[in-house]
Structure 1
Amino acid sequence: MKQTVDFLAECEALSAVLDPLDGDDLARPTQFKGWRIEDVIVHLYFWNLQADHSIFRPDEFSKTIADILPDIQQRGMRPVENERITLRGAALVEEWRDHYLDFCARLDGIDPKMRVKWAGPDMSVRSSITARQMETWAHGHEVFDCLGQSRMDTDRIENIVILGVNTFGWSHMVQGFDVPDQRPYLKLTAPSGQIWEYGDVDMENAVIGSAVSFAQVVTQTRNVADTDLQMTGDVAQRWMETAQCFAGGKEPPPNQGARYVQQG
């Protein structure tokens, strides 16, 4: 399954920048809600485990979700995840890495269309693994930014772009807006230089720019004003100002200038 290959590659790209870090480095705060780098890995590892269990141990997954969701609503995500994943430092990174390698190996031969449970609506295995790639890429931004490194994106980002396109309606519903009848036309330039187009050509209701910028906006790792995206029409403008491709409650995008590659 292509999505497994892409998820694995996304994990490996993040792992490569984590390899040289010591415990002090992993405790550095990022620009995302004050999370430390190791908080990011705790989060990714915990939900990778849940995705794994939803496919291979569905009863265990259902029990865990029933236990934690009320707790998360009451206390927030960080304390709950931290209690479930207690490793820190290099040992945490190693266990996260060992798990995603094993998980991806076990996904070989799984029917991509098989339905699995999640904290929200059920989804296909393909969608579940795409979501894991998206989460790894999006939260990886915090790490790259914190370390002052610009990531080298590839066309595997297309999975995240498609997720962003497919959640046009969700982005409006979670913000409390009516869903427009017509999704804007998208013309995006992939990292390879290829042009990706979505929807009917309509230059009066359009989003044009780089695929990386679009993915950054729908994952809320950048404010649209900090990207190269150009919007025409009210629908396109509002979508890019409030886009949210991930599940959960309504989340505001970062303020303009709040997320960037740190220097020094």
Structure 2
Amino acid sequence: MSDASAVLDDLVGESAELDLLVAELGGERWALATPAPRWTVAHQIAHLAWTDRAALLAVTAPDAFGAEVEKALAAPETFVDDGAEEGAGLDPAVLLARWREGREELQRALRTAPPGARFPWYGPPMSTASMATGRLMETWAHGQDVADALGVRRAPTARLRHVARIGVRARDFAFGARGLDVPGEEFRVELTAPDGELWAYGPADAVQRVTGPALDFCLLVTQRAHRDDLALRAAGADADRWLGIAQAFAGPPGAGRTPKGTPPGPGCTPKGAPSGPGHTPKGAA
């Protein structure tokens, strides 16, 4: 995407939808547990606020952002959790205001970035469109955790196309992150969008194929649902293996969710998926 305005508009819309879920919550509901172990609703919003602030620093003060990278390297196992924990301890009204202010500042900074700009990040440098796409994916995925905690079913929107695109383009990363050989042939991915449109990726005559609802694919690649609970179908051994390991976020492989009805084991839900600062794999956005 050479023009980031469309994805930025969708990022604003995705953020606003999540905002509606939490804007009127009483204090006790901010403490509700989400599917991520030890993370409450407050942790989810605090993480988004924390990452927006980090992204804003990368965009507006790249030299200063280097200090944040050093902190991450010094404490890679706790860096993300510490940021969420700090924000979750705030009064909910203060936390909500912080998230709103930070995300607004970030989208303004991205809209006014010069053409061709690239920003430092915890992984490879990111373009304006890539940064916005990564923020949208995280907002949607962590919003799903919040919705699950509140017992709310969100209607899928066309904004999922950004999440789906990252998931498709991160195929090779998912294999490599697990030490598996990357398939040499391209896959065909055909997803049914919320409005019934077909979103297609890869050559039409590919042998390895994945088909199903776009929502289910997005839940899979952000590891918000187990493949057994989704209406995704694979044709070909490599495509089938991909559905078992897919991830749209950078970082170590996530353990994913257990199938519905299965008691969760320790660490079964990757708290950092896709909460890790390097949330978009290289080349995925």
Same fold (TM over 0.5): yes
Which residues in structure 2 correspond to 1:103-252 (within 5 Å)? 103-111=106-114, 113-202=116-205, 204-252=207-255
Is 2:80 the partner of 1:70? no
In structure 2, give the amino acid aligned to 1:193: G
2:62 maps to 58
Q: TM-score, normalised by structure 1?
A: 0.92
Q: Deviations over 1:62-114 (max 9, x none)?
A: 111212332233x4532344347752422101210122123212322324631
Could you list the structure 1 runs, at least 4 aligned residues long, displaced by more than 6 angstroms after superposition. Answer: none
Shift, 1:153, TM fit: 1.8
Q: TM-score, normalised by structure 2?
A: 0.85
Q: Secondary structure at the match of 2:76?
A: helix
CA distance in 2, matches of 1:61, 1:258: 43
CA distance in 2, matches of 1:10, 1:51: 17
CA distance in 2, matches of 1:85, 1:53: 21
CA distance in 1, matches of 2:103, 2:24: 19
Q: Secondary structure at the match of 2:234?
A: strand
2:270 maps to none
More moved, 225-234 vs 96-105: 96-105
More moved, 86-95 vs 216-225: 86-95
Distance of aligned partners of 1:68 and 1:87 in 2 relative to their CA distance in 1, 3 Å threshold: farther
Q: Percent identity?
A: 31
2:6 maps to 2
1:12 maps to 16
CA distance in 2, matches of 1:227, 1:21: 30
Shift, 1:189, TM fit: 0.7
Q: Which runs of 5+ in 2 are unaligned?
A: 263-285
CA distance in 2, matches of 1:66, 1:76: 10
Q: Which runs of 5+ in 1 are unaligned?
A: 260-264
Q: Secondary structure at the match of 2:216?
A: helix
CA distance in 2, matches of 1:112, 1:219: 29
Q: Secondary structure at the match of 2:75?
A: helix
The number of residues matched between the two structures is 258
CA RMSD of aligned residues (A): 1.8
Which residues in structure 2 correspond to 1:40-59 (within 5 Å)? 40-59=44-63
More helix by share: 1
